[in-house]
């Protein structure tokens, strides 16, 4: 099966976005490690509906799905991404904290990037 030009462009664009996101998450993870944010979570819980603050005891609250907001991570390369309250920034910081906790290094990030490039 051959993909049309529009589909090929979309796949390439999505792959580039994934690579940029991975690079940003890795950069923020290095900052999080240097600031010591990997030992404990400093985020706050909110519901995804109204944004009111909830504690960890509300994680199984029926009707809403609370999520942990990743802490602010001031980063010189991605200053707005490290401090924004937007959902995309929260997700990237969450991934960055996971990368930092796992101690992912540059070689492992390069392998992840290669996998992203090679898989459609």
Residues contacting 81, CB < 8 A, separation 6+: 24, 28, 75, 89, 92, 93
Whether pLDDT at 60 is above 50: no
Residue 8 has pLDDT above 50, yes or no: yes
What pLDDT shows up at residue 28?
Answer: 93
Whether residue 2 is contained in a domain is answered as no
**In this structure, is residue 50 part of a structural domain?**
no
Q: How many domains does the chain have?
A: 1
Closest CA to 51 of 81, 94, 85, 80: 85
**Average pLDDT for 73-79:** 81
- Neighbour count for residue 119 (Cβ, 10 Å): 8
Is position 107 within any domain?
yes
Q: pLDDT over 90 for what percent of the chain?
A: 43
- Residue numbers of the domain that contains 26: 21-33+70-119
**Rounded mean pLDDT of 71-96?**
86
Residue among 86, 87, 106 at smallest CA distance from 29: 106
């Amino acid at each position: 099966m051959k993909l049309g030009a529009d589909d090929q462009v979309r796949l390439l664009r999505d792959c580039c976005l994934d690579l940029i996101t991975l690079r940003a998450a890795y950069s923020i993870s290095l900052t999080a490690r240097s600031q010591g944010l990997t030992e404990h979570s400093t985020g706050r819980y909110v519901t995804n509906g109204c944004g009111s603050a909830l504690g960890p005891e509300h994680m199984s609250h029926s009707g809403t799905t609370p999520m942990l907001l990743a802490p602010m991570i001031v980063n010189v390369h991605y200053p707005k991404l490290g401090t924004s309250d937007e959902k995309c920034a929260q997700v990237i910081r969450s991934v960055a904290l996971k990368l930092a906790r796992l101690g992912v290094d540059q070689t492992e990030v390069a392998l992840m990037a290669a996998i992203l490039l090679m898989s459609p």
